Structure 1
Amino acid sequence: MEYVIALLSQQPLMTLFLVVAFGYLLGEVNIKGFSLGAGAVLFVALFVGWLAPKSAPAPLVGTLGLALFLYCVGIQYGKLFFTGLVSPTGRKANLLALIGLIVAGAAALASMNLFGLKPGYVLGVFAGSGTSTPALQAAMSSLGNSDPAVGYSATYPFGVAGPILVMYLAFFLFKPKIEVPKSAALDFMEIAVRNPDLFGKKLGDVLHMLPSQTEIAAVRHEGRNKFPDPALVLGPDDVLMITSATEAGLEEARKIIGEAAPGKIVMDRSALDYFRVFASKRAVVGTALGDLKIPGGFDYQLVQVTRGDSDLLPRRDLILEFGDRVGLLVNRANAQAVRAFFGDSIKGTADLSYISIGLGMALGLLVGLIPLPIPGLGKLTLGFAGLLLTALVLGYFRRSGGLHWTMPLSANLVLRNLGLTIFLAQVGISCGPKFAEALAESGFLLVFDGVLVLMSLVLPVMIIGMVVFKLPFDEVCGVVGGVTGNPAILMYAGKLTGTEKPDVGYAMIFPGATVMKILFVQIAAAIWGG
C-alpha cells in the first residue's frame, strides 16, 4: 500500500486520469434508474485524496476544466437562453427558477445559524444540493479555503436523487396528461393531384394553400420527376412530394391535393436522386441557405437539414453549422460537385475554431475581472459567471465577421464533459483529507441540511409551476432540470414525460440559474465568510 501511495503522490497527472477512469466506472452503476454519472468522479477523487494527500494536481488544472465546461454550455445554449427571456413561457420558467433559488438560498443561510455550521460548509451544501460545480468553485475561491467541497460532497448524491424522486411522486400522484411529442424527423408523402380545383393552377399558388411547416420537394409531371418550379402548371395525375414537420401537416396537404401515391417519385431516380452531405467547409458554414450558390449552373432542391438528432425544414434564413447534414435532390451526374461544394467530410462533426475558443474564453475571463460596485459590500467581480455570460452572448450571435463562435454538438459535448470531469477530479483529490475529517464531525447534519435546501429549491418550482402557473408537467420538469442542473435529472425527466420539453426548459434555465448560484455564493461569502 505504501508503494501505491508513493506512486500516486509522485505522479499527480497519472492519478488524475485514474480517478477519471474509476469515477466513470462507478458512475455507470445503475440502481433502479439512479446513477451518479460524472458526479461519481468526485467521490473517487475524495477517497484518493484521503489515501494519498500529496497526489493532488495543480489547481490550474481544475480551473481550466471548469472554464471549458462553462464556455461550452454558454455557446450551445445562448440562443435558447435569450429566447427564453423574451417568450411568455420562458419568462414564466425563469421566474419559477428565480423563486426556487431565492427560497433555497434563504434556507441555506438560515441553516447556518440554526445548525451552527461553518459558512463554507453551508455554501457547499447549497452548491451540492443544486449539483452546481461552478458554484462550488466560486465558493472556494471567494472563501479561500476548501470548506465548500465538504458540504458539496455530503449533499451531492441527494442533489441528484432528490429531484428524480420528487418528479416521480408528482407524476404518480397527479397523473398528468402529456401531449404526444412530435417526431424530430421530417415526414414525407407523395400525393397525386386529384382535386379538380388545382388543375391548371401554378405550383406556386398551390404552395400558398398548404399548411405552415410544409414544403414541396419535387414534382412528377408528364411522367418525369422535376424540381418544384413555381411557374409549373399542374394537371391531373401529377404527383407532388410533400415534406412536413408533422404528420398532421401531411394529412391536411393530402386533403387539399388529392390522394396518396407512394413510390411514384422515389422509384424513378433517372432525373433526380436524393443525397445527404456533411456541411464541413468554412465557406458554407455560417451561411444562410438562401445565400448558397452551388457553382456549375445545374438545378438542385434542398429538402432537409439534420442537426444533431433533429430534422429541420430548409428555410432560406436557416444558417448552416459545422456537422449539419444537408439533404437535397439533384441529378446524379452533379453529385460530385455538390459534395465538393459542401465539403462532405465527417470531420465537420468535430471541427471547431481554436481561434474562436481562445478569443472567446479570453474575453469571458476578462469580463469576469471587471469590478462591479455592490452597495454595502464594495466591489465584486463576476469571476466565472462573466465567462458564462460572455459565452451566452457569443452563442446567441453565433458568428462575428469571419469568426464562428459555435461548434458542432459532438465537439461541444466532448469538451464540456472533459472539462467538468477534470475539475471534479482535481477538487476532490485536493479536498480528500479535510473531507474525511469534517464528515466524521458533522456528516449527518450536512446531509440533513442538504435535504432541506434541495426541497426548498424543487418543491416551490413544482407546486407553483403546476398549480399557480398551470404549466404542463413536462415543462415544469424542464425547469426542475434546469434549476438543479444535473444531466441525470434531465435524462430522467425526458424518460418520464417522453417529450422534448424538458430539454428546452433545461436550455432556457440552466445558464441563468448557474449565474445566479455563482453570484449568490459570492455575495454570501463576502457578507458571512469574513
Structure 2
Amino acid sequence: MTWFVTTLQQYPELSVFLALALGFFIGNIKIGSFSLGSVTGVLLMGVLIGQLKIDVSPTVKSVFFLMFLFAVGYSVGPQFFRGLKKDGLPQVYFAVIICILCLLVPYAIAKFLNYDVGTASGFLAGANTISAVIGVASDSINQLNISAAEKAALTNKIPIAYAVTYIFGTAGTAWFLASVGPKLLGGTEKVIQECKELEAKLGQSVSDNDPSLRSALNRVIFRAFTVENEWFKNSKTVNETEEYLESFGNRVFIERIKSNGKIIDATPDLKISFGDSIVAGGQRSFFLTDQDHVGKEINDPELLNFTIETVSVLITNKEVIGKTLAEIIKNDELISKNFHGIGVNRVTRAGVEMPLSGGLKIERGDQIDITGLKHEVDRSANFLGYADRPTTSTDIMFVGVGVLLGGLFGALTVHIGHVPFSLSTSGGALIAGLIFGWLRSQHPTFGRIPAPALWIMNNLGLNTFIAVVGISAGPGFVEGFKELGLSLFIAGIFASLIPMFLGLLIGRYIFKFHPAINLGGCAGARTTTAALGAIQDAVKSNTPSLSYTVTYAVGNTLLIIWGVVIVLLFS
C-alpha cells in the first residue's frame, strides 16, 4: 500500500485516471432509477484520492476544461442563434427569465446565510447542476485582488458546496418537474391528454400511411413481387404504377424490374408488364395488407441483391428550413425531383430526438436520417444540405483555432470600479464554441467533429477537470463538509426548486405555453437532461423535447456565465 501511495504521489497523472475509473463506476450504479452520475462520482473519488496529498498541476485541469467548454458551445451553437430569430424568441425570453431566477435565488439565500464567495459559487453550481461553474468561478476568484492563500481557500470550498447540493439538484429537479409539474399545470391526466392532442396536431396534415413519417419500425423496406394483377394486362409505366398504388393510401416506390430474366433499374417511363417481377419499397403495412394490388410476394435473391444506404443529413437548404415534414414530403415537385424512394427515419436537434410527425418544423442544423438507394440518397442529401457520413476524423485545426481565439478574447480584462472583470479563458472558449458551432451549421464542409469525438471532448474534458478539482480540494474537503453539510443541503433544496416552481407558473400564466412546451422549457433552461426523460415518461409523450433544445442552448450558456457573475456580485 505504501508503494502504491508513493507511486501516485510521484506520478500524479495516474491518480487522475484512477479517479476517472472509480468515479464512472460509482456514478453509474443505480438505486431504483437514481444514480449519482459520472461527474459527482468522479468528484467524490477525486476527493477520496486527494486525502493522499497528491499534487496535480493546475494546467491539466485548465486544458481539459477549455476543451469541454468549446465542445458545449459547439453542440448548442446552431440552436442558440436559431432561438434568437422571431419564432424562437418566446422560448429564449422564457429561458433567460428562468436562468436569472437560477442566479438570484441562490444568491439571495447565500447572502442571507452569510456564505463566502467560494461557498456561494459551489452552491450555485450544485443547485443548478451546472458543473462548469466550478471552473469559471475558480478562474474569476483567481483574478481577485487577494492573497494566494485566500484564493486557494475559497476555490477549495467550491467543490464542497457543489457536492452537497448537486444530488438533490439533479434528482429533486427531475422529480419535481415530472411529478409536481403536471399537477401545477392542471393535473397529470389533463397534461397527458393535451400532449396527445399536440401530437395529433403535429401529425394531422399527414396520412398515417406515409412511410417517410413513421418510426424506424415502419421505415421503408424492400420486397419482391410477381406482377399478377389484371390491372397490368396493359403494360403500365413505373410512374403510373406508383400513382395507382398511392391511390390505395400507400406511398410505394418501384426500384427494380425483372423482365424476361433481365434486371433493370426502374425509371419513371419504364414499362411494367403482366408476369414481370418487381422490387417495391414502402411501409410494412402495404406488404402485409395490400400486396394483392400487384401480386404475390416472391423470394428472388438476385432481384433483391442491391445496396441501400442510411445517411444523416445536416440541413442547410433554405427551401426546406421552416417548413414542416408534411409540407416537404407532400410537395409533388420536391418528391419527384428529390425524395423519390426516400424514407425519413428520425430527426435530431442539438442531439435530442424530435417527435417524428408531419407538423415538425425543420430548422437549420437539424440532422435528418434518410434511407434509400444510394443514388437516391445522394440526390436527396445534396438537396437538403450536407451528407454527414460517418467518419473518425476531427477537424483539429478548427478546434485549436476556436479555443485559442476564445481564450484570447476571454482573457481581456475590464475594471468595474476596483474589481477586475473578464469572461476568463473558460468563458471565452464557451463563446467561441457557440460561434464556431453556428459556423459549422452554415458551412458544413469544414469544422467536422464526429459525435464520438464530441462525446470524448465533453465527458473526458469535464470529468478530468473535476477529477483534478477533487484531488486538489481533498485535504480540506472533510472539514468543510462537516461545517457546511446539513444546512447547505437544505438550502440547496430551496435553491433548486423555487426557480422551477416560479418558471412553471410564468410559463403557464404569462407566456401561456402548452404544458409540454412549459415542462420541456423548464428542463432545458436548467440543462437537466435527466428531468426531460422523467417528464416524457410522466406525460407519456416526447413532445416536451420540442422546447428543450432552444432553452437548453440558452441555459447552458447563461448558467455557465453566472460563474463569473456570482463572483462579481460577492466581490
- Superposition map of 1:184-333 within 5 A: 184-185=215-216, 187-188=219-220, 203=239, 217-219=253-255, 229-231=267-269, 241=280, 267-268=299-300, 270=302, 273-276=305-308, 303=342, 327-328=372-373
Moved more, 484-493 or 120-129: 484-493
Moved more, 470-479 or 56-65: 470-479
Write the letter of the residue equivalent to 1:91. Answer: L
Tell me the residue number matched to 1:336. Answer: none
Rounded Cα–Cα distance in structure 2 between residues aligned with 1:285 and 1:468: 35
**Structure 1 residues 445 and 195 mapped into 2: Cα distance closer, same or farther (>3 Å)?**
farther
Rounded Cα–Cα distance in structure 1 between residues aligned with 2:304 and 2:461: 46
SS in 2 for 1:131: coil
Show CA shifts across 1:294-330 (max 9, x none). Answer: xxxxxx98745878998999xxx99999998864267
Q: CA offset at residue 452 of structure 1?
A: 1.4
Q: CA offset at residue 469 of structure 1?
A: 4.0
Q: CA offset at residue 449 of structure 1?
A: 1.9
Tell me the residue number matched to 2:16. Answer: 16
Tell me the residue number matched to 2:329. Answer: none
- Superposition map of 1:39-438 within 5 A: 39-49=40-50, 51-52=51-52, 54-86=53-85, 88=87, 90-144=88-142, 145=151, 146=155, 147-170=157-180, 171=182, 174-175=188-189, 176-177=191-192, 178-179=195-196, 183-185=214-216, 187-188=219-220, 203=239, 217-219=253-255, 229-231=267-269, 241=280, 267-268=299-300, 270=302, 273-276=305-308, 303=342, 327-328=372-373, 348-371=390-413, 379-381=421-423, 383-398=425-440, 404-438=446-480
Tell me the residue number matched to 2:504. Answer: 462
Tell me the residue number matched to 1:34. Answer: 34
Q: CA offset at residue 151 of structure 1?
A: 1.6
Moved more, 77-86 or 61-70: 77-86
Write the letter of the residue equivalent to 1:125. Answer: F
**Structure 1 residues 34 and 376 mapped into 2: Cα distance closer, same or farther (>3 Å)?**
same
**Structure 1 residues 205 and 260 mapped into 2: Cα distance closer, same or farther (>3 Å)?**
closer
Rounded Cα–Cα distance in structure 1 between residues aligned with 2:447 and 2:178: 38
Show CA shifts across 1:428-448 (max 9, x none). Answer: 111122322222122222112
Q: CA offset at residue 35 of structure 1?
A: 0.4
Q: CA offset at residue 128 of structure 1?
A: 0.9
Rounded Cα–Cα distance in structure 1 between residues aligned with 2:370 and 2:242: 29
Contact 1:79 1:395 in 2 (8 A): yes
Write the letter of the residue equivalent to 2:164. Answer: A
Contact 1:46 1:428 in 2 (8 A): yes
Write the letter of the residue equivalent to 1:72. Answer: A
Give the counterpart of 1:446 among 466, 481, 488: 488
Q: CA offset at residue 27 of structure 1?
A: 0.8
Moved more, 461-470 or 143-152: 461-470
Moved more, 357-366 or 371-380: 371-380
Contact 1:273 1:329 in 2 (8 A): no
Q: CA offset at residue 127 of structure 1?
A: 1.0
Show CA shifts across 1:32-63 (max 9, x none). Answer: 201011121111112222x12x3142112212
Write the letter of the residue equivalent to 2:307. Answer: F
Contact 1:368 1:385 in 2 (8 A): yes
Identical counterparts, % of pairs: 22
- Runs of 5+ consecutive residues of structure 1 not aligned to the other structure: 291-299, 332-343
Write the letter of the residue equivalent to 2:9. Answer: S
Write the letter of the residue equivalent to 1:387. Answer: A
Contact 1:45 1:432 in 2 (8 A): yes
Contact 1:93 1:479 in 2 (8 A): yes
Tell me the residue number matched to 1:293. Answer: none
Rounded Cα–Cα distance in structure 2 between residues aligned with 1:183 and 1:200: 29
Rounded Cα–Cα distance in structure 2 between residues aligned with 1:125 and 1:93: 26
Query: How many residues of Structure 1 are paired with residues of Structure 2 in the alignment?
Result: 486
Show CA shifts across 1:360-390 (max 9, x none). Answer: 3223323323456879977533642332232
TM-score computed with the length of structure 1 as normaliser: 0.74
Write the letter of the residue equivalent to 1:156. Answer: Y
Please give the root-mean-square deviation of Cα atoms over the aligned residues, in Å. Answer: 4.9
Rounded Cα–Cα distance in structure 2 between residues aligned with 1:243 and 1:387: 47
**Structure 1 residues 241 and 127 mapped into 2: Cα distance closer, same or farther (>3 Å)?**
same
**Structure 1 residues 327 and 396 mapped into 2: Cα distance closer, same or farther (>3 Å)?**
farther
Q: CA offset at residue 488 of structure 1?
A: 3.5
Rounded Cα–Cα distance in structure 2 between residues aligned with 1:458 and 1:113: 20
**Structure 1 residues 115 and 24 mapped into 2: Cα distance closer, same or farther (>3 Å)?**
same
**Structure 1 residues 65 and 258 mapped into 2: Cα distance closer, same or farther (>3 Å)?**
same
SS in 2 for 1:57: coil
Q: CA offset at residue 454 of structure 1?
A: 0.6
SS in 2 for 1:55: coil
SS in 1 for 2:422: strand
Write the letter of the residue equivalent to 2:97. Answer: I
Tell me the residue number matched to 1:338. Answer: none
